Each structure stands twice: as C-alpha cells, then as structure tokens.
Amino acid sequence: MTGTEVRAMKDEEIKITLGKHRQELLDIRTKQVTDTVSDTSKPGKLRKDIARMLSEQHARAMKAKK
C-alpha cells in the first residue's frame, strides 16, 4: 500500500483497514513464535502500512482543526 492509495481512502475505510492490519500483524507475531511464517518481510510491510494510515489520520485531524 502506498501513500497515494491511503490518501485516496475515506476515513471509515482507513479505520477498518487499520484494524485489519493490526490484527494481521498480531497473528503473524504469534505465528513467528511457532516458526510457521513463510514470508518474514510481512511484519515490516504491515508496520509501514499502519504508520502510513496513522499519519494520514493525523494529517486529516489537523486539517479539520484549522
């Protein structure tokens, strides 16, 4: 997911996707403990996507305050 894709999303879509990504990250962390993760780069990608969505949420909140 790129920044452009995140900016194109509506507020509700970001909120839902953010929840899904956080749950998926938790699941992957749990699977890493049992060594059943095939794609070890997935947690890093999810963290970056989560950060992009949180940044966009914050930017929209600051813009709404003005």
Distance CA 7, CA 10 (A): 8
- Rounded to 10 deg, the angle between the 11-33 and 42-65 helix axes is 150
Mean pLDDT score, 51-59: 96
Domain boundaries 3-65, CATH class: mainly alpha
Mean pLDDT score, 26-52: 90
Per-residue pLDDT tens digits for 2-17: 989 999 999 999 999 9
* Inter-CA distances, 56 with 23, 27, 29, 45, Å: 19, 24, 25, 17
Q: What is the pTM of this model?
A: 0.88
